[in-house]
Chain A
Amino acid sequence: MSAPLHFDFIEAARLHPGRVAVVEPKAGQITYAQLDALSDRVRDRLIALGVGRGDRVGMYVRKSIDGVAYILGALKAGAAYVPVDPGAPPARNAYIMHNCAVKTVLTEAKLTEKFRAELQQLGASPELLVLDTVGAGQGLAACLDVLDGARLAPLSATDAAPADSLAYILYTSGSTGKPKGVMLSHENAVSFVQWCVEVFEPTPEDRFSSHAPFHFDLSILDLHVSLGCGAAVVLIGEDLGKDPVRLAKLIADERISIWYSAPSILSLLAQFGNLDKADYSNLRHVLFAGEVFPVKHLRHVTRLWPGRRYFNLYGPTETNVCTYYEVMLPVPEERSVPYPIGPVCSHLDSKVVDEHGTTVAKGAEGELCITGRGVMQGYWSLPEQTANGFFVDVDGTRWYRTGDIVVEEANGDYIYRGRRDRMVKRRGYRVELGEIESGLYKHDKVKEAAVIAKPDEEAGVKITAYLSCKVAEAPSLIEMKRFCSEHIPIYMIPDRFVWLETLPKTSTDKVDYQRLKELN
């Protein structure tokens, strides 16, 4: 059994109280001792509000030191944190908070009006901790001051959460149109963090990037590996994260030593970041995950940043990283086939099965299945989907079915071949095409909607929506894009909208996706 996720941070704070723990560019930074003290205040306040072991607390706030302190405070209180995308429609975020019955939500003043209305519609009434300003932990401290009033929250003990209690729930795109909550325990998280420490050998001298938003599973490495070992983590806000010129400058200025992001960001950095113009001598590891990295762009990055170690990390949110591959440099000029996703990580076990759950021969295609300490407990309050996500073999071992089709090479490396369902990866996010369709059906003029994704050299994947209309004049493309931006996250908005008189059907009167793909 392992110690809870937050214990490594507490130990790091004891060993390195004066070291910088978190940097929030342009806002400020916080030391280990200060972060420990601020997260203790969060713990005490949450416990005073009735939060206890096993409860969930929501987080609907932009990436900030305030957010990091809240995460640590929630874990210290024994609660699981539930971070959502501050840029997603308020209705989606309210649904998530209601779905897992959070007791409190940390949010910011400018987001509360619509959010409160959406919560009310659902009949949910979590306690909202509203920050007037966000940044450097000051907004959070001010909010706690107000709540304390004349009396501080009573000092409470940090919870020694058992290994199987939940540490966080990350919501991912769901095929039914509703996001689903992936439940991850302390043991799931800690086994992954320990694996990272073994492979990447971080030290207190390291400076980690935190590029991914907190509701994305890449953030687990960014936050918990860095803060567990006394290193600094540099928070990169959403606007800056998409701007390759400023981002490149930040990597140099902040002397980032371990970079981790989706490949699409690295492609943008290589193309537009002027990476030959600044000093990146501190950078030692470049990690990427979330989607296939087109070799052309990877080669470009490795030429601009030679002499670093490059790791291709693979894994769904349900397992976090489960296989990894170190790319040996140089990337050959003639190579165009993507690199393997590598062998299974040491804290997990893997096998490849056919549709009946029978292990296939090496070299044959099949679905990658994972078992071990890193595998999620299930989906929040979705017993049927949880059961479908796993199969139990003759030894009684529970295997998570990734849905990814792979081939195992003779040396144990896996090669990724594709999906067995309708999920695609876009800018590192997973997108269930069914969730886009559900969003489109909310438009009062849409009669039928079907969404197709096709691989694209530049964008990774292009999404086309095929629609038929209830009225004679179909809404314009501009109206559809605007409508989508109000109902689904930005990364799910289709690239193209095509109106047809009626969608093609199969003999059983279902939408004929094969024919739509041919139209595409």
Chain B
Amino acid sequence: MMNSDELRKAIKGYILSEFLPGEKPENVTDDLPLISSGVLDSIATLKLVLFLEEKCGIVLEAHEADKENMDTIDMMVATAQSKQK
């Protein structure tokens, strides 16, 4: 199982390569709003959910893939870890 730092790094790497190619890594902070600010659209969010499920061996409920649970990298890590327990 990944620890939270490893997971944070993996999510950040995935977001940068898939949705923000060319963006400076330091701009993607752990508390940057991604869904509510329009950086990730609904299809990008869906892809990210699949990525998290595969990486962490978890299943997210559809209603968890929203800005209340997934808006920032911190929130994604917390959501994924609450499922791993």
Contact = CB atoms under 8 A, between A and B. Distances in A.
A476 B27 contact: yes
B23 interface: yes
A477 B22 contact: yes
Interface string A472-499: 0000111001101110001001001000
B6 interface: no
Contacts of B63: 243, 246
A272 B27 CA distance: 31
A245 B62 contact: yes
Nearest to B32: A478
B84 interface: no
Contacts of B42: 242-243
A459 interface: yes
Interface in B9-37: 20-24, 27-28, 32, 37
A462 to B, nearest CB: 12
Interface residues of B, number: 19
Nearest to B46: A272
Interface string A447-489: 0000000000001000000000000000011100110111000
A329 B39 CA distance: 40
B65 interface: yes
B2 interface: no
A490 B23 CA distance: 20
B6 to A, nearest CB: 23
Contact of A243 (B21, B27, B32, B62): B62
A490 B38 contact: yes
B43 interface: yes
A239 interface: yes
Interface string B33-67: 00001110111001000000000000000110110
A243 B41 CA distance: 12
Given A239-B66, A245-B62, A478-B23, A493 B32 contact: no
A449 B26 CA distance: 26
B37 A485 contact: yes
A493 B46 CA distance: 17
A493 B43 CA distance: 13
Nearest to B23: A477
Nearest to A481: B39
A482 B38 contact: yes
B46 A478 contact: no
Interface in A225-259: 239, 242-246
A459 B42 CA distance: 12
Contacts of A478: 20, 23, 27-28, 32, 37, 39
Interface string A377-401: 0000000000000000000000000
A476 B38 contact: no
Contacts of B37: 478, 481-482, 485
Contacts of B38: 481-482, 484-486, 490, 493
Contacts of B28: 478
30 contacts: A239-B66, A243-B62, A243-B63, A244-B46, A245-B62, A268-B43, A268-B46, A272-B46, A459-B43, A476-B24, A476-B27, A477-B20, A477-B23, A477-B27, A478-B27, A478-B32, A478-B37, A478-B39, A481-B37, A481-B38, A482-B37, A482-B38, A485-B37, A485-B38, A485-B39, A486-B38, A490-B41, A493-B38, A493-B41, A496-B21
Given A476-B23, A481-B37, 5 more contacts: A245-B62, A477-B20, A482-B39, A485-B37, A490-B41
